[in-house]
Chain A
Amino acid sequence: MKSSAMRDLMAITERPEVISLAGGLPDTSTFPAESLAALLSHMAAADSARALQYAPTDGIAAVRDCIVEVMAAEDTVVDPQDVLVTTGGQQVIDLVCKTFIDPGDVIVAEAPTYPGAVPAFSAYEADVAQIPMDAEGMRIDELETTLDRLEAEGRRPKFVYTVPNFQNPAGVTLSLPRRRRLVEIAHERRLLVLEDNPYGLLRYEGDPLPTLLSLDRGQFVIYLGTFSKILSAGLRLGWAVAPAPVLEKMNMGKQGADLCSSSLSQLFVTTYFAERRWEDYLGELRDLYRVRRDTMLAALAEHFPAETTWTVPQGGLFVWVTLPDYIDTTDLLARALEERNVAFVPGRAAYVDGRGGSSMRLNFSGVTEDDIREGVRRIGEVIREQVDLYGTLTGRQPAPLNESARDAGLADVVELPRRRAAP
């Protein structure tokens, strides 16, 4: 669970005067209101009884066809029978834990990992082993070392959790050789992989990479998708694709949890796919977010001191920034909120073991360009103050702004050393 102090801090980020780069929000203001109104009225006119009724637990058949279409856009061919419609992608994480995790079981995840997965893992009392990442995503050599170590201890992880594309929070992407190797390892060790792919279609540059599911051909990979980032997060619709025996268990878990996902939301999706070109709206979002990402990267280069490093995501919603290790970003957030009305997610939220204290996650998708520039400028100011104060306290001079040093340091950005527990 998130610490209460962190919760208290995050509660204040919701004040209206705060520029928040802390969210993970898509920009829903881009969906035309009249379009939403028209779609809803068409849906009501055509299918009101069904929209107001329960749906099958595995989802309305037509929605599963839409999902098959979305996945085909990432060159991943699936059978609608292998799809379970869920209440947001988050429910997939919960159902997979519910299906596989007994207290004390091991889940392997990235370091840092999706902060929203941490409470799910904790709720099922899983032990989480976090694998460091570099610019190419999860370090597979480290993964194998960890798996060997666990095996020597007689512990077999229940699954590996990964966000391979534009990872939340680190922004990095798992490279093709590592994808292949990860799938091989899954086969060699008969180990399940939960591929969480909410952002794959939000690519702003570079070539798309195959999903783990397509490399695996549906044997050891459980796939998590969502409409949240390509259509609307408010629909709360996601999906799982999994081998049949796994899907069956997840289906039972879902019956216990909520019987079915919202019929209204599901029929909205089918109406939308029938009447509009979903790829067009996705294209608009991509164009919008690309500009915002570029704005954020430019603002970081302009306003953040040379002691800081950050990832350059090719897609997705987040940039991961790492500060000198004497700055604690939870404390920094308190100062940023109090003195500058600006917020971000402190890195510790993405770790289960107290690491990440010097990192932060910044979101660019849900914020206007002006707010991105201003928000980054304000955060840069508080960091600068703390870097200067450290200089005063230790007699060390802050480093001059040096662009080239940044690129060289990039590989280390997400590869965080374990913080000295007791300096």
Chain B
Amino acid sequence: MSRVAVLKGGRSLERGVSLKSGARVEDALERLGHEVHGVDVGHDLVSRLRELAPDAAFVALHGRDGEDGTVQELLEIVGIPYTGSRVGACMRCADKVVAKHAFRAAGIPTPDFFAFSEAAFKELGATDALPAIEERLGFPIVVKPSDQGSALGIKFARARAAVPAALIAAFSYSDHVLLERHVHGHDLAVSILDGQALPVVEAVPRDEDFYDFEARYEIGRTTFVCPAEIGDELTAEAQRLALAAHDTLGCAGFSRVDLMLDESSRSLSVLEINAIPGLTETSLLPQAADAAGMSFDELVGRILATAA
């Protein structure tokens, strides 16, 4: 038995999801016989950690602070072993633009993209480059904040007139935005656990042509299929790409790699990596673990064992 601090909540936009993930992890750790302390991450984080002096910290904190390396840096300083990726890998995962450049450099396919800061539009006339970008990416264009983990702020511009509003929305969450080629096809996720790719999950929106990232967390609005029915060859390729992406960004312990399977070309590409994937009832990692014959408690136990 060890003493484990479960870090959750925090001030990010994914606070709600994180509290749910954290609560489930706490229950599982208790069932596994550990002494568990839930910590809602706030101003007193460092003093709470020093006071608790846990054997390990289980980071169930999503979004800003949890996934961008901030909390990991603090854990390093306080000297507490923690689950998941180290500081540098977290920073690379949290910034979709940095991640995509790394994929590209490593030869891992990722949808074509351009990224700009708000300043580039305000001070460097990036607006004048928009027509060329639109021509190269083609409509629809997916516009995303570069460092926002949840569905918020992701817009789908179907025509030129919709691009400014989509950019404004994305800039509401981040100083940098990503304009990405839309891949029409299947939404796939491959979770990595301890150097091994779990079965592929496919997220199927319930309404045809209903493109809404909010559906991700909503029970009933998306159907998840695991293992995804994409054939052995594509499954193996998706798992290979996911592992390569995980390694390229230097992730450790566990992560979830989001991919797209192009409907017409049947080619795979990597969108992003979540350094701290959700662990709620509807989250993809637990579903993948389940398909691999691993219970939630077992999954949590294995993640904890990777703490370093």
Interface residues, chain A, with chain B CB atoms under 8 Å away: 3-5, 7-9, 11-12, 15, 325-328, 330-332, 334-335, 338, 386, 389-390, 392-395, 422-423
Contacts and interface: CB of A to CB of B under 8 A. Distances in A.
A347 to B, nearest CB: 15
Nearest to B157: A423
Contact of B150 (A5, A326, A386, A392): A5
Contacts of B186: none
Chain A interface main SS type: helix
Contact of B121 (A326, A327, A392): A392
A8 B158 contact: no
B118 A8 contact: no
Contacts of A338: 173
A328 B17 CA distance: 23
A210 to B, nearest CB: 43
Interface stretch (B7-15, B197-205, B223-231): B7-15
A9 B13 contact: yes
A224 to B, nearest CB: 30
Nearest to A10: B16
A423 B151 CA distance: 20
A423 B161 CA distance: 7
A395 B128 CA distance: 10
Contact of A389 (B14, B158, B171): B171
5 contacts: A7-B16, A8-B152, A327-B168, A334-B153, A394-B127
Q: For A3, A325, A331, which residue has the most chain B Cβ atoms within 10 angstroms?
A: A331
Nearest to B19: A11
Interface string B154-188: 00001101111101111111000000000000000
Interface residues of B, number: 32
Given A11-B16, A393-B164, A423-B159, A331 B169 contact: yes
Given A334-B153, A334-B173, A423 B13 contact: no
B173 A335 contact: yes
Nearest to A325: B165
B229 to A, nearest CB: 27
B218 interface: yes
B172 A9 contact: no
Interface in B1-60: 11, 13-17
A391 to B, nearest CB: 9
Contacts, number: 87
Nearest to A335: B172
A422 B16 contact: no
B157 to A, nearest CB: 8
A8 B16 contact: yes
Instruction: List the 10 closest pairs (A to B, CB-CB), nearest first.
Output: A331-B172, A393-B164, A326-B165, A335-B172, A423-B162, A331-B169, A8-B16, A4-B217, A5-B214, A3-B214
Contacts of A389: 118, 121-122, 167-168, 171
Contact of B13 (A3, A12, A326, A332): A12
A8 B15 contact: yes
Contacts of B169: 328, 331
B172 A8 contact: no
B10 to A, nearest CB: 10
B214 to A, nearest CB: 5
Contacts of B152: 5, 8-9, 330-331, 334
A393 B127 contact: yes
Nearest to A337: B13
B15 A11 contact: yes
A12 B162 CA distance: 29
Contacts of A5: 13, 150-152, 214, 217
Contacts of B170: 331
B218 A4 contact: yes
A331 B218 contact: no
B214 A12 contact: no
Contacts of A330: 152
Contacts of B14: 8
A327 B168 CA distance: 7
A12 B218 CA distance: 19
B241 to A, nearest CB: 29
Contacts of A9: 13, 152
Contacts of B162: 423
Nearest to B125: A392
B56 to A, nearest CB: 28
Contacts of A11: 15-16
A11 B121 CA distance: 32
A335 B15 CA distance: 16
Contacts of A393: 121, 127, 130, 163-164, 167-168
A416 B105 CA distance: 48
Contacts of B173: 331, 334-335, 338
A15 B42 CA distance: 11
Interface string B113-138: 00000100110000100100000000
A422 to B, nearest CB: 5
Nearest to B14: A8
Contacts of B118: 389
Contact of A423 (B158, B167, B214): B158
Given A15-B11, A334-B172, 12 more contacts: A4-B16, A5-B214, A8-B17, A12-B15, A325-B165, A331-B173, A389-B118, A390-B164, A392-B127, A393-B163, A423-B162, A423-B165
A274 B143 CA distance: 62
B165 A12 contact: no
